[in-house]
Amino acid sequence: MATVSQSQSPITSVSPVAAQPTVGLQPQLLSRLHLDLRGRRFSVDRETIMNLPESVLLCLFPNGLVLSRQSAAFTDGGEHDDDEEVYGVDFDPDCFNFVLSFFRNAQDTFYGTASQPGLYAAQQYLADQVPISDFAPSSQNPLLTRQAIIVLREELEYFAIPTGDKSAGTDTSGLPNTRLLAIKRACGQKLLEKRSIFTALQRNVNKENNIAEQHLIDMLCMSGFDRDDYWGYRALEPSRCCISSIALVLLKTGIVHPPEAPLGQERGQVTVDYVQMSTAQKLLLFWRKPARKCWWDGVDVDIANHGEPSHVVKLWARRVWTLELSLVRSAEDAPTDTDLVPQI
């Protein structure tokens, strides 16, 4: 066998390249994220994204999201380095806008704006106090320094059973015919009109006498919700027998701000109801730890239009609730590197 010289070897024939230094190849944090939600564009800064609840981030980015890039690895010095990268997201744009607006208003109210001081300025001294109820410093209580928001979401998947209507069915491929599709759409509209948050869960509590679920309702109504509250946003998902709903409320922490004083008089001092604060602290268990509950609910709905004979359809609904507590940062409180990727 002929011997291959070192100069002819395909392994050694390439001229050695000096090792490139790795200094300066740290990930470059993206300051803004450009999103395309079902054809609607959003440009959101990094801090706003990281203020959003983790359960919402998981819906936006089910495969995870890294808000950084290796600038040296992904750029070549060309003229297109500054082109924006758009992430396509399968999420309701109106729901996303609802969440963004609520969190933005809550942040401005708590931390203030350039022209208006927020609630935090008046209660900042509470972080240096030691509560009478225990010996832990108040600075360890995040409810004193951050605005807390309760996030409640529902995914309702429904199944229509059109008894007595032989014209509604499926074809040989198992796809619904025109009549069955019309019934499903009508059922979805009827469910969409039922906007009360706790009606379905209270019905389940009454049916099964579930004490734990009753305690959940009571705790939520003590912490910010009312028993007659409606979903803040509720909509049918496209091309699916599914309704997505979300409700956001400010957590009642027990921190009481006195009303504005008349001109020339000093405003009263902020006080704390420690009983309410103790209830609020229980919800810290759901901070970055969304809890889910799933149950089946059977109801009868009349889908007949006004003036038409009654047409009752049996509906089975699979409801999935997600409960989470979100703590909003101030604009100056930048997220750490460990905050940049939602936990899957």
**pLDDT tens readout for residues 222-252:** 999 999 999 999 999 998 999 999 999 999 9
Q: What is the DSSP string of 29-85?
A: EPSEEEEEETTEEEEEEHHHHHHS-HHHHHHH-TT----EE-HHHH--S-TTTTPPP
| pLDDT tens, residue by residue, 86-112 | 889 999 999 999 999 999 999 999 999
| pLDDT tens, residue by residue, 64-94 | 876 766 433 334 444 444 457 888 999 999 9
**327: pLDDT strictly greater than 70:** yes
Rounded to whole angstroms, the Cα distance separating 89 from 46 reads 16
**124: pLDDT strictly greater than 70:** yes
- Give pLDDT, residue 138: 53
Query: In the block, which residue shows the tokens 């704006």?
Result: 113
Query: How would residue 52 be classed by pLDDT, with cut points 50, 70 and 90?
Result: very high
159: containing domain: 108-328
The residue type at 123 = Q
| pLDDT tens, residue by residue, 28-39 | 677 888 999 999
Q: Which percentage of the chain shows pLDDT scores above 70?
A: 77
Strand-pair partners of 86: 34
Q: For residue 289, is it within any domain?
A: yes
Q: Which residue has the higher pLDDT, 147 or 46?
A: 147
Average pLDDT, the chain: 81
Q: For residue 82, is it within any domain?
A: no
Rounded to a whole number, what is the distance in angstroms from the first to the last CA of the chain? 57
- Give pLDDT, residue 338: 43
Torsion angles phi and psi, residue 217, rounded to 5: -60, -45
Strand-pair partners of 117: 112
**299: pLDDT strictly greater than 70:** yes
Average pLDDT (194-216) is: 92
Q: For residue 275, is it within any domain?
A: yes
| Least confident stretch, 8-17, 118-127, 331-340 | 8-17
Closest CA to 161 of 305, 320, 298: 298
Q: For residue 228, is it within any domain?
A: yes
**343: pLDDT strictly greater than 90:** no
Instruction: Give the helix ranges, DSSP H, for the chain.
Output: 46-51, 54-60, 71-74, 93-111, 119-123, 178-193, 199-208, 211-223, 274-282
| pLDDT tens, residue by residue, 255-292 | 998 887 666 666 778 889 999 999 999 999 999 899 99
Count of domains observed in the chain = 1
The residue type at 156 = L
Rounded to whole angstroms, the Cα distance separating 10 from 47 reads 50
Q: For residue 300, is it within any domain?
A: yes
- Let me know how many helices (H) and strands (E) the chain has, helices first: 9, 12
Q: Which residue has the higher pLDDT, 127 or 208?
A: 208
Q: For residue 58, is it within any domain?
A: no
Q: For residue 258, is it within any domain?
A: yes
Average pLDDT (185-201) is: 94
Rounded to whole angstroms, the Cα distance separating 182 from 188 reads 10
Q: For residue 319, is it within any domain?
A: yes
> How many degrees, rounded to 5, is the angle at CA 233 between CA 257 and CA 153?
85
- Give pLDDT, residue 261: 63
